[in-house]
Amino acid sequence: MSEESIDVTRDFQAKPPHGDFTIKKIYCKDISFETPNSPAIFQAAWKPNADVQLKTDVSEIAAAEYEVVLSVTVTVLIDDTPAFLAEVKHAGIFGVTGLTSDEIGPILGSFCPSILFPFSREVISDLVTRGGFPQFILAPVNFEALYSKHLAGQTEAQLESYTGQT
């Protein structure tokens, strides 16, 4: 059996086939945690009903530099009574050069939120636990599927707008 050598720098390059992508900074932009019905809510049987909302905002802050903000809002009710509301906005500054406009959209709308989500998930879990509630771990999110669904919705809205015109 012969030994094969692997050129790690060639085979495991974290670089797209063309263009450059860099993470310049990741930071927490806003954090909020509310327990409007404490301490009474701690007496209730823990049968939570959770609603999780995700939102992504993108802005170009300089040539080839973008800020992507992922907002995660978790509202938990117990028998229609709010137990807690946790909101985190994690942001990142990303450098993107050498990509076409068709390639930049999925990078900013899918890849960057995927990078930010684990940070938001950790903060939400920590806030909930420190707020006196049982551990709350957000499930993984397929941002690629969400981005595709968003694009499909935009296309559908444009078609409706176009066919509705006389």
Q: Which residues of the chain have pLDDT under 50?
A: 1-2, 5-14, 166
Q: What is the DSSP letter of 140?
A: P
Do 17 and 70 form a contact (C-beta atoms < 8 A)?
no
pLDDT at 166: 45
CATH 1.20.1260.10 is right for the domain spanning 17-160? no
Do 59 and 85 form a contact (C-beta atoms < 8 A)?
no
For residues 159 and 157, what is the distance between their CA atoms, to the nearest angstrom? 5
For residues 126 and 131, what is the distance between their CA atoms, to the nearest angstrom? 8
Query: So where are the chain's domains?
Result: 17-160
pLDDT digits over 44-68, tens only? 999 999 999 999 999 999 999 999 9
